[in-house]
Structures are given as structure tokens and as C-alpha cells.
């Protein structure tokens, strides 16, 4: 079951964030306030999940492999955002 959720997290991180927030306290243990998970849901959903996983798995200290996982999630999120922007610019150039 955790492997299935991990695979779904790569495809649909916002749905996974909602499910985790509703059915567990996993995000609550990783973040002190509600604002960070909400901002993460809107802007960097995979990073939000990766940080929560790293924090809960490492016992509260994000370093080593856990830090590498969070950095990788940031790069994936930024790549998705950048790819969408590039696609929009090329679309607008073609429609002029």
C-alpha cells in the first residue's frame, strides 16, 4: 500500500496531500503551522510531500539522503512549472 501511494504521489501530489491531511496527522507533525502545507499544496506539492516524508522518517532532522530527496522534489516541481511556462510561451507565439 505505501508503494502504491508513493507512485500516486508522483502522478497526483495534490490529491495525496488532501488524503494525507484528512486521514492522518502526517503533515501536522512535519509542519508547525497550517500555512506551509497550504502554500505547498498551491505551488510545490511534491516538495511538500517529500519534506513531510523526510521529517517523519528521519525523526525530525532533514539531512543526508532525506535532504537529497527534498532537493530532488524541488527540482521536479520547478521543472514542471518551467515546462508549463515554456509551453505557454510557444503556444502564444504560434497563435499570433
Question: Model confidence over 26-85: pLDDT tens digits?
Answer: 999 999 899 999 999 989 999 999 999 999 998 878 889 999 999 999 998 888 777 666
Counted domains in the chain: 1
CA angle 61–64–70, rounded 5-degree value? 80
What's the rounded Cα separation, in Å, for the pair 84 and 54?
27
For residues 6-26, give the mean pLDDT.
Answer: 85
For residue 21, the enclosing domain spans: 2-95
Q: For residue 92, what are the contacts with CB-CB under 8 A and spacing of at least 6?
A: none
Name the pTM for this structure: 0.77
**Closest to 19 measured CA to CA, from 44, 39, 41:** 41
DSSP per-residue letters across 7-69 = HHHHH-HHHHHHHHHHH-SHHHHH-SSSHHHHHHHHT-HHHHHHHHHHHHHHTS---THHHHH
Q: Is 38 exposed, middle or buried (0-12, 13-18, 19+ CB in 10 A)?
A: middle
Amino acid at each position: 500500500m505505501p508503494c502504491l501511494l508513493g507512485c500516486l504521489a508522483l502522478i497526483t501530489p495534490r490529491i495525496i496531500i488532501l488524503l494525507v491531511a484528512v486521514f492522518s496527522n502526517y503533515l501536522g507533525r512535519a509542519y508547525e503551522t497550517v500555512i506551509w502545507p497550504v502554500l505547498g499544496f498551491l505551488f510545490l506539492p511534491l516538495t511538500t510531500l517529500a519534506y513531510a516524508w523526510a521529517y517523519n522518517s528521519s525523526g525530525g532532522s532533514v539531512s543526508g539522503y532525506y535532504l537529497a530527496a527534498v532537493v530532488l522534489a524541488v527540482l521536479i516541481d520547478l521543472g514542471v512549472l518551467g515546462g508549463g511556462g515554456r509551453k505557454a510561451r510557444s503556444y502564444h507565439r504560434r497563435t499570433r
